Amino acid sequence: MTTSPRKVTLHSGKYFGCVSFFIVESSLSQSVPRMTPRQTPTGLWVGRRVYKGFRKLQAVGWVVASRATEGARVDRRNGLLGRHYAAFSSCKSICKTALRAVSCSTHCEARAMMNASSTALPAPTEITRVVAIDGMHCAACASKVESAARSVAGVRDASVSFAAKKLRVSFDPTRVDLSAINARVTRAGFALRLERDPAIRAAREVAAARALRRRVVIGAVFSIPLVVLAMSHGSIDAFAGSTAAWLQCALAAPVFFWCGWPIHAAAVAQLRRASSDMNTLVSVGTSIAFASSAWALLTHDPSTGVHALHGLWFEASAIIIVFVLLGRLLEARATAHASDALRALGALSVARVCVIDANSTEREVAADDIAIGMRVRVRPGERISVDGRVIAGESEVDESMLTGEPLPRAKRSGDRVVTGTMNSFGVLEIEVTHAAGDSVLARIVEMVDDAQMTKALIARVADRVAAVFVPIVLLIAAITATAWWMFAPAEVRAALALEAVVSVLVVACPCALGLATPVAIMVASGRAAQLGVLFRTAAAFEKLALVEEIVWDKTGTLTLGAPSGKEVTATQGNTIARVLRAAAACESGSEHPIARSIVKHAIEHGVEIVRATEFRAVAGQGARARVEFDGVEANVLVGRASWLESLGVSLVHKEISSSTEVLVALEGREIGRVTLEDAVRDSSRDALNALNTLGVRAQLASGDSTSAALALAKQLDIPADRVHGAMTPESKAAFVRERRNDGARVIAFVGDGINDAIALAASDVGIAMSCGTEVAQASADITLVSSDLRRIPDAIALSRRTLRIIKQNLVWAFGYNLVLIPLAAGALWPFTGWMLPPMLASAAMALSSVSVVANSLRLRRA
């Protein structure tokens, strides 16, 4: 039996509003433990710890965050929600996921919670799924699938990647499901592949490729002798006269009907829906060629002689189909290479894992069955199969496949390891901290996959053209036929009109338009992942390529973010121990790097961390709490001098050193200061030098004092006029907006903390460190997998080359159609007597899309 949820509203800091915890207590013998003041889930503590609570519960399958309801929904395994506090927060835009949970030690039934409070677990209002699509052959097809999906009531957004053959759809699960979306897409002539097993998808793709290759081979077997026969013009004695014509028909028929069946069937399906696509152009063109040839053969009077038998296009109808199918085969193979990097990342996962039971015996289990808390053993030379913490053993681990860092890292008890990395020489025992689906590797693969599904801004023109491309080509073909019929000499107008129409229909290629951008994004996102840079969207490539200036955070970005205690000073009448005791007690509830350093420094000096209550963190300023001294609670403030002054604290002296200084006040009076030093990150200088070479300026915006910021800038050769200290989160964001408005520059911001989230969101391109907070990463457009800042200039260089490749692809795709369609229509005939033959037109069409893909694949070497 459960009681009604007890709602506790807790203040969580200036930028997070409040957090409401719905606690359901069960009748089990275990009671809900009281949270100690150090565990109070308020302020900055929520940002890093809350989400992890849910992931530790084996009864929880997945969690969906909803920005609309500002809540979360949990998928319960076997009906049991597990041990938890469920929490929902009202967050502002800097926190893009309103997802909060923290574990406790009591069980409760999910149904009991749902019945007890209808607001405890609100249903999600939006779910995003990515599914594969069957039946797409050109960019016009992608446009039709998007329109069909968006027309379903309850669908919020839909985006199709023609290159990846996938649909990304966001919908309200209370109004519609995937089956309804699939039904609408099916009516448009396509189908969603709803199976989620990668093995099934891979088997289907292999079968489709094998079937396509079979049609190409058989088509070529029939077409080669057909072309030879047609080009002989009766010079082969054994096949002279009408015999040669009938033999051409016999050779062309299997190619036209069997090899071309998928093309004709797709065209008919579109015709039934009063629509058209690439298949329509090819089917109409080849059908005209084959039908007119068959009519000429059937109506030919043998008494008129063999020379009267003209206008045969059997070889054109066959070779066009073969070239089209060959082009699709080559395109599919080339496009598959675009995802090589993503597949290589996926291949880093291990299928079987060596698990250590409670009695220390080993057994192998599937990686998908690994649960949090299990112990795993990894031997020398084996790939680490889980995300976890080393609990026994020492070794070195090669993380280059994920982070790009060449040197292995030493690992010992307490160190963190991730899936996909390679163990070197020692045996490691690892405690699992994340399930397989929530590992770092899984999140990287998911982020890269998501980026490949988004669309670049530059692709909008191509999408608009592709949507109306086929109808325009059909109109041009009709105008071409009419013009030739009206103005060509009577004796040749039928043949010339037929040849021109077939060439126009066949040479037109919307595929190149559809592939120009997405293939480049696919290759670039995979290459970026290999470099240790994760792009959230395709638009981030465009923006980063145009970046002129980067605003840098200081602590945890250009520095290691692990400041060490340098000096503690106490005012008259106070002791260093008293200062450390007050500061450490107040900061024990925070996860800011400076707070952790103060606590660590106090422990190293033997200072007891006493109980603190009413903890509250003020982002970018400091923290406040009530700390017990001699049995009496007193108000303690720890933070920057300007903040303490604004609260009425009288400062003993205002001189600020070039190091980071944290002031400590007790009951409104300063009792001392803690001076900290933070080492410069090894890669900072190299990264800034590389950015200077690329023409990207650096600005330093730090929450530390101006003198501390200037000291760091001097080490990194950043000009003093580009250094800005004592900045709050709001002033950082305002500075970024000011730089954007000054000359319409494209500005990037690099940061790692919760206090950087506003500036990350305000910039054109936000870049977050993987070692930073989840809030910062959620606000950023780009995340660095490693802490190597040299990856930022690498990412800018890759983005610039990607944008250049996309522009080349678009110029080629548009230029190809603008030049070859008029040539196919006979624009040069009045001047040269030459017209683009249908066979050459089909070959050009097949090569056009392949050339776009091949050009994009050059990014693999970027």
Distance CA 252, CA 222 (A): 7
- Choosing from 277, 387, 438, 553, which is the catalytic residue? 553
| Distance from C-alpha of 535 to C-alpha of 531, rounded to nearest angstrom | 11
E strand or H helix at 127, and its extent?
Answer: strand 127-134
CA 399-400-402 angle, 5° bins: 75
742 a catalytic residue: no
| HEC readout, 78-124 | CCECCCCEEEEECCCCCCCCCCEEECCCCCCEHHHHHHHCCCCCCCC
Question: Cβ atoms within 10 A of the Cβ of 664, count?
Answer: 31
For residue 418, give the nearest of 451, 458, 468, 378 by alpha carbon: 378
Q: Residue 663: which of 621, 697, 631 has the closest Cα?
A: 621
Strands of the sheet with 612-618, listed across from one edge? 564-570, 669-677, 660-666, 632-639, 622-629, 612-618
Closest by CA position to 113, among listed 23, 33, 52, 50: 23
Beta bridge partners of 636: 625, 666
8 A C-beta contact, residue 404 and residue 530: yes
> CA-CA distance, 593 to 561, in Å (whole number)?
6
**How many whole angstroms separate alpha carbon 732 and alpha carbon 706?**
14
Alpha-carbon separation of residue 481 from 25, 271, 278, 478, 501 (angstroms): 80, 21, 20, 5, 6
Q: How far apart are the first and last CA of the chain?
A: 62
Alpha carbon 466 to chain centroid, angstroms: 25
Pick the closest to residue 627 from 565, 579, 563 (CA basis).
579
Active site residues: 553
